[in-house]
Amino acid sequence: MGVRMSDSKKRTGKSQRGISRDMVMMVVALTLVTVIAATLLGLTDKVTREPILQAQREMLHRSLQQVLPVHTNSTLDETLKIKTADGIRTIYVARDAENKVLAFAWEVVAPDGYSGSIRILMGVLPDGAVYAVRITDHRETPGLGDGIVRNKPWLDFFSGKTADNVRWAVKKDGGDFDQFTGATITPRAVVKAVRKGLAFFAKNRALLLAKTVGK
């Protein structure tokens, strides 16, 4: 141990440097616990990472099926990366059996939900019309803002809408989208985010078609 102890120190269990045996034992024990805990954490991460990724992939696949027309390709495996002000956006491409591009899908995030961010997957046809919208993650209040998930007619109202054929706001703000009883903040946030998603498409439509049509 290299801890030399004078006679008087032996009686007190303290080394010449004044470190008690108990202190040394405690440090050793703490180090052991830390190493074991870190090893277990690493193992757990290793064991659970693949199943978690797989589950996330399956969930995304199911959501893509809901926002895209029936298609024959694997949308998870045909993606484009487009730079936006908020970072790189992944675009999923749906094709029919003749390889024709049927629609695109991507995620938008509404930062201003009642309880924080709302994640939305939107499918858009090449002509710029919304095919369908699905909420993939939110923490809005049950019975109030969660109408964005429960209220299917409200969600279906997005289908067929373009940047110009509807007023993109809730009715309380002079638009065409319903708000919910006692809940305006949530629907307002989703409508705004989907509208922003269509603006992104309008800006990148030519690029997306150039990268996909005839490929």
- Give the footprint of ligand FMN on this chain (CB under 6 A): 114, 140-141, 144-145, 172, 182-186
Residue whose CB is less far from ligand FMN, 94 or 183: 183
Please give the Cα distance from 116 to 103 (Å, whole number).
Answer: 29
Q: In angstroms, what is the minimal distance from the CB of 60 to ligand FMN?
A: 25
Residue whose CB is less far from ligand FMN, 61 or 150: 150
Q: Which two tokens stand for residue 59?
A: 């969930």
CB 162 within 8 A of CB 198: yes
Residue 98 DSSP code? T
Residue whose CB is less far from ligand FMN, 68 or 189: 189
Q: In angstroms, what is the minimal distance from the CB of 111 to ligand FMN?
A: 14
Q: In angstroms, what is the minimal distance from the CB of 67 to ligand FMN?
A: 23
From residue 47, alpha-carbon distances to 28, 38, 64, 114, 160 in Å are 28, 14, 27, 36, 44
Please give the Cα distance from 132 to 128 (Å, whole number).
Answer: 12
Residue whose CB is less far from ligand FMN, 138 or 195: 138
Q: In angstroms, what is the minimal distance from the CB of 214 to ligand FMN?
A: 44
Q: How many CB atoms lie within 10 A of CB 30?
A: 10
